[in-house]
Structure 1
Amino acid sequence: MFLLLFVLKKAHIGYDMRKKVIIMEQVLVAVIIILVVLIIGLSIARIQERTTEYDVFEAERKSRPYTEAEVHHHEMKFGTNAKPNNPVRVSEATEEEIRHLVLSGKKILAIKMLVEKTGMSLSDAKHRIDQY
């Protein structure tokens, strides 16, 4: 910018022409600043979107029960007695349905429902149903 002004002063051009060049230069600087701000804003928005997607993914991953494959992986890695510290959670509605099935003598259906809704093993589901 200053270099251009220096060149313009050395060149013998009219005052009006210098004024136009200065205005064009200021407009160019303003456009560049706007573009930089726009690019930074879009980058920040994209980072926030990725972070939000990751947070949702992690929350879903932590809230679901362990699958048989994950339990098997833990057993292979840490020994057969090792179990994940994430107990299986059952909603109150499911708990009521299971309790109703057990009280009406339909333990097999209750075990099947527990396995389908939680992903726990048959033996764990049977043990849990026997506790009712």
Structure 2
Amino acid sequence: MAISTALIVPPVFAETPEDLFEIHCAACHNSGGIGNPGLAPPLNRPVFWQALGSKAPEYLTGVVVSGLAGRLDIQGQMYIGLIMPPVASTTDEELIEIGNWVLQSLGETEEVLTQDLLDAARESQPSHANLRAMRPAVD
């Protein structure tokens, strides 16, 4: 008689926005948003987020709603050919928490991502070209 050894994995409960980032974003953007060379750019770049200024929440909501593709040159690393898909694995509340953590903790800004901005991005579906055009030339 064969003995079954089932792996029991407890559910993952996020307690902080950083935990949510680890669950939903770190597979590509790495723990703490440090990026994965050639795969996904680092998000822990305060100069970038601060250069976006008041447009940072609009840019971030556009990226999570529409995804992003196209050539990006960031800190000497080229990202091309890979597409960040729209984020679909979170609730709006989680997405807002993650977005605010990125803007405020990684970006060192006081900018805030809101439900209204998320709804507006879903309605307008910003193009990848428009999102790339919003990017400041600081990388």
Give me the TM-score of the superposition, normalised by structure 2: 0.22
Higher-Rg member (1/2): 1
Structure richer in helix, relative to its length: 1
Structure richer in strand, relative to its length: 2
